[in-house]
Structure 1
Amino acid sequence: MKLGLALGYWGAGPPPGTDEQVAAAEDLGFDSMWTAEAYGSDAFTPLAWYGSRTTRMRLGTSVVQMSARTPTATAMAAMTLDHLTGGRVALGIGASGPQVVEGWYGQPYPKPLARTREYVGILRDTIAREKAHSDGPYYPIPYTGGAGLPSSGLGKPLRSTLHPYRTDLPILLAAEGPKNVALAAEIADGWQPLFYAPRHDAHYRESLETGFTARGGRPEDFDVVCMVQVVVDDDVEAAANRVRPMLALYIGGMGAKGANFHYEVFARMGYETECQKIQELYLAGRKDEAIAAVPLSMVEQVALVGPKAKIAEELPDFRDSLITTMVVSGSPEHLRTIADLVG
């Protein structure tokens, strides 16, 4: 199991200490670093900026949102950065959720699986320097009109002027639901779960196998890249308190009732009652109570919290799981501790 550095997305501004974290991860032999985006900072710019300070680590997006860019625009950014870094880019993409897609990007959300399949197909063709062309309903290339917007009729399929550094630049798919996980196994080079519980992964294994069967077999280098929060503290509850706010946010606030994929992840683990309570409290504006309603056992399903000895005892669950790259965050000292624990 390889280690990756999670840089995530920014809050109000660039977080302090990132240069030091990146330098420490490179020195410690981390395999990769990963940026993200929601509805603030983008994923590509920080990846290029901080990636220019490295020479070895893979540079991944976890994830770029499909609705933020057309498939060809995403391919352009990934191919450009791949050249600048000597072929170190891993392109993680995701459909996001309806609140962000429709509320931030002003794009329609329905049919995310069909849109993803069409999007990845165009990405593959563009990166392979084939002419960009799609007859699909979501990303028609060339544009011939639709949704009340006329076409000039002058568009034609174009081939990238940029020759790719690699035609096999890896594409990873962020997915949580069973059908989307199966799609990742079928059409992508890797899968990026957000919350993954090794002790409750039977449904993920089944979904991946469905996708690999449709693909005709599992690629040898299929990468499962997952962020795992690691909090070292002699007080287990104090350590869990560092994780609870994020779980409450995603379960309670990152999606509407009946349309929250993160909620569903934990519900499938058997926490339906707890998820319902967390969501009700969070949507009612009682965020502190929602955070307090996250049980320790739920935290321990997806994170490593507590004294070093406890973390070392639980780490094999993650090492022996589907995860091939465990993505972590923290100060340089904390990254060294994790590297020592993982060995």
Structure 2
Amino acid sequence: MAMHVVDLTSMTGQDREMSTRWGMTVPLGGVPLTDHAAVFATLADAGFTDLWSSEVNGTDAFTPLALAAAWQPRVRLGSAITPVFTRGPGLLAMTAAALAEAAPGRFQLGIGASSPVVVGDWNAADFTKPYARSRDMLRFLRAALAGEVVDEEYETFRVRRFRLERPPATPPGLLLAALRPGMLRLASAEADGVILNWLAATDVSRCLSEAKSDRWNFEVVARIFVCPTEDADYARTVGRRMIAAYLTVPAYAEFHRWLGREAELGPMWKAWAAGDRKGALAAIPDEVVDELIVHGSPEQCRDHVARYAEAGVKVPVMALVPLPDQANLTPAELTDLLTRLGPR
């Protein structure tokens, strides 16, 4: 499928923002951070316009982007996502401001509630009122990153006379990760864009019916899990494990109920609740795996990802699922794989 690719270095303003951009989640598994300069260059050469980080239990959201800011000036950068509970408001504003200064006009800050495991079990913070905390953090960051003095009593925290010493000349766009209607509407009302996750291309329209915006520069970003192998059995095995691990989390389970997958995923949820892990994995239909985990040849994966763009996603962001022989890939083989996945 031929894709329209835009050289961001030669465009500014509205034309740039309205063009479909292609992203990759970084860092790549199995590649040391010190070796990512070559990875970033390969991705840019392949037509990827964006590099997006995540923050679960691997790298933090900002270090890979700081390296990319220094090593690869051709791409845009984004976090998807930085949890709103695991950093204080001032620290999050300072970190975002520093990266925005390092990559002027190229950085977007994606924030989200994350999950009770990440927030509570791993970071010793209270996962309470996720909607209110996300709303309050959006409002605080909007003011702080604009260089304002913030002295405010929010519903979920209090900030006393905070002002950034180095407010960025170009404040980063603020994007909100959202699943169900409440958060999707909040993103539409108060953020500069929305970040979608764990959905099929056919689900995009449902989400965007709630995250409605007439703003030409309202971003729609989606993280898409991609396993570029023609070994369908391997891809489905890995996909089932991922689905069982993620979609049994209450927020994601409710998201997929809202999307209409009660019949397909109900048996998995029932088996998981009963402690039957093997039964839960076996209950996940191939059709659901094939919708949520993109797999096939790199070219087939690229074309499947393009369906998200056709459905309304402005920045489809691939997140590579480990391949069976990934640890043994040579630099030349990795370059070939990334090039084949890219839209060029």
Match of 1:317 in 2: 307
State the one-letter code of the partner of 1:6.
Answer: T
Displacement of 1:22 in angstroms is 2.1
Match of 1:24 in 2: 42
Pair 1:303-2:307 in alignment: no
Query: Does the Cα contact within 8 Å between 2:230 and 2:295 map onto a contact in 1?
Result: no
Q: Which of 205, 208, 212 is 2:208 aligned to?
A: 205
Match of 1:120 in 2: 138
Comparing 192-201 with 219-228, greater Cα deviation is found at 192-201
Measured in 1, the distance between the counterparts of 2:226 and 2:151 equals 44
SS in 2 for 1:134: strand
State the one-letter code of the partner of 2:283.
Answer: A
Match of 2:182 in 1: 179
RMSD: 2.8
SS in 2 for 1:243: helix
SS in 2 for 1:229: strand
Match of 1:190 in 2: 193
Measured in 2, the distance between the counterparts of 1:333 and 1:283 equals 43
Pair 1:159-2:168 in alignment: no
Say how many residue pairs are matched.
312
Measured in 2, the distance between the counterparts of 1:192 and 1:111 equals 20
Q: Which of 88, 96, 100 is 1:78 aligned to?
A: 96
Displacement of 1:28 in angstroms is 1.8
Match of 1:261 in 2: 251
State the one-letter code of the partner of 1:5.
Answer: M
Displacement of 1:10 in angstroms is 7.4
Cα displacement string for residues 1-35 of structure 1 (whole angstroms, at most 9, x for unaligned residues): 32111126979x95796444322112223111111
Cα displacement string for residues 169-212 of structure 1 (whole angstroms, at most 9, x for unaligned residues): 20111111111011111111111111122323443132112xx4
What's the TM-score once normalised by structure 1's chain length?
0.80
SS in 2 for 1:171: strand
Unaligned runs of 5+ in 1: 143-156, 213-217
Pair 1:248-2:244 in alignment: yes
Measured in 2, the distance between the counterparts of 1:20 and 1:293 equals 41
SS in 1 for 2:90: helix
Distance 1:285 1:336, change over 3 A: farther
What's the TM-score once normalised by structure 2's chain length?
0.80
SS in 2 for 1:191: strand
Cα displacement string for residues 130-175 of structure 1 (whole angstroms, at most 9, x for unaligned residues): 0022121312112xxxxxxxxxxxxxx13221131213x2011111
Query: Does the Cα contact within 8 Å between 2:111 and 2:174 map onto a contact in 1?
Result: yes
Distance 1:10 1:177, change over 3 A: farther
Displacement of 1:308 in angstroms is 6.3
Match of 1:151 in 2: none
Report % sequence identity.
27
Unaligned runs of 5+ in 2: 1-19, 321-333
Measured in 1, the distance between the counterparts of 2:302 and 2:154 equals 49
Higher relative contact order structure (alpha carbons within 8 Å, sequence separation ≥ 6): 2
